[in-house]
Structure 1
Amino acid sequence: MTGGWMRAALLVLLTIGTSCAAGRREAWSGTESTPIPQRASQGAGEATISEQVSRVQPRGAAGPVVLVTIDGARWQEIFGGTDTELSNHPRRLPSDLVPHIASMAKERGAAVGAPGKGTMAATGPNFVSLPGYTELLTGRAPVGCQDNDCDATRTRTLLDEVHGAGGKVAAFASWERLERAATVRTGRFVVSCGRHGDDSIEPWPGEGDFRPDRYTAKIALEYLESERPDILFLGLGEPDEYAHKGDYDGYLSSLAYADSVVGRVFDTLERMGARGAQTTVMVTADHGRARDFANHGGFAPESARVWFVAAGPSITARGHVASASERHLADVAPTLRLLLGLSRDRSLLAGRPMDELFASSM
């Protein structure tokens, strides 16, 4: 399910053995103060879609971004609602199951990867979380990171770039290992992934240092409202945890909770006045699921498929949009670079901005 050009480049670099390097693991406790740097300004670099795609410029100036990921959330529920083959309960449509995401996908904004409109996929070839997040945040195929045990990324992430441009950045995630995909060097901006050994927090439905989504969402939303970052990343993890247990009802409940968090993001932005109105919200997943629902990975190419929804002042609100070619998680960071006024990454493995989000017609 991956595109030929990216697959070919990936295989070449995998052959020469490119690898990730280890990084320190530090995180925000939720209590320390963080200096407020200057806002990232519109840079002198490219601010329009690349020459290889149609020249479409997003409406409005660069503004803040909130990027939410829902670990292991299938496109089937996002676009089709409850899977009646997995549930004994009456079918729920997306508007009932995930009303806020459904509104973004059909009315408030635009969606990529909907059935009949082209596909969006993780590049792989192993469709698991850490490679997916690495691809998502670097805008490149995850060469050298093909499992959940790889070291911290050596490639500057979008979060690193925004911080380097003078923007205020924060990353929060329920899964502790996501920290390895967030930045090449921790300690420069707020990164809070997992429960940090806090025994007062029960990790269920996760294990180890997993922090339940309700705790992660709480501190992320509080930070969004009080600190007003230029980019906030929020990684929710419970849907994948329940799915691995084969608990479809738990998966649906956690997916509905994740959707409610998206709703709370919009509520928070409404309270922020003009700044909130200038903010773009994007929601996606790191990978899909195998046909057996409980699993995912390279053995199940169908688990590559993901989805993407966005809403904001620069996004043309026109529902499910068509993609001329297969999209990848690597295309998310270039799209965000475009919105934030950052220069385009021209490396061989770099993704392309999703110009279909900004076009005024199909």
Structure 2
Amino acid sequence: MKLPNALIAALALTFASAMPAAAKDADARLVLVTLDGLSWQELFRGADPGRAADKALVEDLPAIRRDFVDVPDRALALTPFLHNVVAKQGVLLGDRDHGSCAAVTNDQWFSYPGYNEILTGRVDPAIDSNEHGPNKNVTVLEWLNGRPGFQGKVRAVTSWNVFSDILSVGRSKLPVNAGWAAPAPRTAMEKTLGRLQDQTPRRWAGVRFDVFTHGYALESLKHDKPRVLYVSYGETDDFAHDGRYDQTLIAARRTDGFLAELWSTLQADPAYAGKTTMIITTDHGRANDTKPDGWKSHGKPQWADSNQSWIAAIGPGIKAGAKVTGGCAGANQVAATGLQALGLDWKDFDPQAGAPLPIFRAGN
């Protein structure tokens, strides 16, 4: 008799909770996801009514108003999975309107330094350009890929092609599927994704549309069964740079749907259900409204407050509703948080990295 997927997921979660700690650690999994440049303001406040009514920023004013402004809860309308599931079953940090704080700790406030900080747990002052080239720093993904139990079980799928440098593929030898350069297909679905990607018009030379990144990420979960998967979506930043507020909102809701599908896929697979932590964050924020069209931009010093970010986590060891007190949660804490979720000592990776966020249940 074939059991329904929901029952399989529930049984897997029950068995996982009954497993000894050492066994759970040996089988723990991690999915790290970044949404490029999605501001905490949009995440926690929803669509800005003024921008959503600006004909210079929005093509279909009635549709955007209907879907994102004239709604009971603007934040919930924009990112329902993050608010309905992650915030309730896990943690969602960075709502400055209600006393929560998250920020990058580097002083650049743009992508390459932000991703280096997230993935290494440290700030590198030498990284001051997105054209920095291959990263000399060892990321947590590279380090994990060299450890027993993780070798060959770490994958990265990203919309931005610069991740080939950020993850230093020439040295790390990590399997990185980045940008428009589709890898050689291994499955029928990858063949279809590659063909569609090749036939799709390109809006940005170095950033592919997130739908392809998402498709490859799902296929990696199904085909590779990695213990650690990193997924980076890019449209929430690039449409904002283009000044398309309507498409920025649509991209945020679409990407939230991608997160929901990732989570449901994990919960429906016995290899992942009850064993997987998902951490979600962003590489930087966006400028405040003291400058006209500041929302389009980020970077220090001219774009104030674009260091402000947010961090979310959900999984078997995460304490629902956990708070971070005494200061901001830092992007430099994400790497160690992921390692703790895997049952590893983060100091073995780098004792100088940011410490794990205090978001775990007792005993984890």
User: Which TM bucket (shorter chain)?
Assistant: 0.7 to 0.9
1:153 is aligned to 2:135: yes
TM-superposed CA distance for 1:347, in Å, is 5.7
Aligned to 1:136: 118
- The letter of the residue matching 2:37 is G
TM-superposed CA distance for 1:326, in Å, is 2.0
181, 193, 199: which is aligned to 1:196?
A: 181
For 1:273 and 1:65, how far apart are their aligned partners in 2?
A: 14
Between 324-333 and 281-290, report the one with greater CA deviation: 324-333
Query: What's the TM-score once normalised by structure 1's chain length?
Result: 0.77
1:94 is aligned to 2:75: yes
Contact 1:132 1:142 in 2 (8 A): no
Higher helix share: 2
Aligned to 1:323: 325
Q: Secondary structure at the match of 2:312?
A: strand
1:271 is aligned to 2:268: yes
217, 222, 233: which is aligned to 1:220?
A: 217
77, 95, 103: which is aligned to 1:114?
A: 95
- The letter of the residue matching 1:170 is R
Aligned to 1:33: none
Aligned to 2:277: 280
174, 180, 196: which is aligned to 2:159?
A: 174
Aligned to 1:24: none
Deviations 1:142-171 (A, max 9, x none): 321122111221111110111111311000
For 1:301 and 1:326, how far apart are their aligned partners in 2?
A: 17
Q: Secondary structure at the match of 1:280?
A: strand
Deviations 1:16-71 (A, max 9, x none): xxxxxxxxxxxxxxxxxxxxxxxxxxxxxxxxxxxxxxxxx9xx636101111100
Larger radius of gyration: 2
Query: What's the TM-score once normalised by structure 2's chain length?
Result: 0.77
Aligned to 2:188: none
For 1:288 and 1:296, how far apart are their aligned partners in 2?
A: 7
Q: Which runs of 5+ in 2 are unaligned?
A: 1-20, 54-64, 183-196, 289-293
TM-superposed CA distance for 1:183, in Å, is 4.0
Q: Secondary structure at the match of 1:303?
A: coil
Q: Which runs of 5+ in 1 are unaligned?
A: 1-56
TM-superposed CA distance for 1:359, in Å, is 4.9
Aligned to 1:307: 310
16, 25, 38: which is aligned to 1:61?
A: 25
For these two proteins, the number of residue pairs brought into alignment is 300
1:75 is aligned to 2:40: yes
For 1:347 and 1:233, how far apart are their aligned partners in 2?
A: 19
Contact 1:104 1:111 in 2 (8 A): no
Deviations 1:238-257 (A, max 9, x none): 01111001111110000111
For 2:342 and 2:161, how far apart are their aligned partners in 1?
A: 27
335, 343, 346: which is aligned to 2:337?
A: 335
Aligned to 1:42: none
Contact 2:287 2:306 in 1 (8 A): yes
For 2:209 and 2:247, how far apart are their aligned partners in 1?
A: 13
Superposition RMSD in Å = 2.4
* Structure 1 residues 337-356: aligned runs within 5 Å: 337-345=339-347, 350-355=353-358
Spell out structure 1 runs of 4+ moving beyond 6 A: none
For 2:214 and 2:30, how far apart are their aligned partners in 1?
A: 16
For 2:275 and 2:202, how far apart are their aligned partners in 1?
A: 35
